[in-house]
Amino acid sequence: IEGMSAKAKDNGFDWDISNLKVFNIYYPTKGELRSNIILDDFNILSWTNDKDLSGRLANRVVVIGSGSLDDIVSETVEDATEQANWYLQEIALSEKDTGTSANLIAKGTKYLDDRKSPKSVISVRVNDRNPDILTYYVGDTLPVRIGTIGFSENLRIDKRTIQIQRTGEAQVDISF
């Protein structure tokens, strides 16, 4: 794994392992927090806030722990409010290395918190000079503040596209 790291090899990949034991690969890089580049009401030309329904929703998580036959430890964690909103979305997690109910509940709760409702997909359109398009890249994290909806978070850039207008002005669409 370390051999394919961007630090060990030209054109390698950045990677990490999440708390849920998920191996994440970032290409071209994981990026950096660029706190000096702020996207806000002064430089955002337009924005959208959509719900991503393609992800795996889960509002009931069954966590299966260690044991055998009739002696398997398992716990169920659920969110009834989200079930009412999105119907039943159930998933089973295998945590065979865990035999303690409290640990299974903690893992199920974490998974549930991350997936109980669709994630917001924020996209903004900015001018290519404000901020300068050469100062941030796909993978970087930027502060985004949209005053009209009271939104203020640091978001990682997933996609960046450039549109050249008939006037010659370039506009940049950034998706997080």
pTM of the model: 0.60
Residue 120, number of CB atoms within 10 A of its CB: 14
pLDDT in tens, the chain (176 residues): 555 554 545 555 667 777 777 777 766 567 889 999 999 999 999 999 888 777 688 999 999 999 988 899 999 999 999 999 989 999 999 999 999 999 999 999 999 998 898 888 899 999 988 999 899 988 899 999 999 989 999 999 988 999 988 888 899 999 98
CA dist 74 and 92 (Å) reads 10
Q: Is 87 left (phi over 0), alpha (psi -120 to 50) or beta?
A: left
Tokens standing for 151? 């939104």
Asked whether the beta carbons of 112 and 76 are under 8 A apart, the reply is no
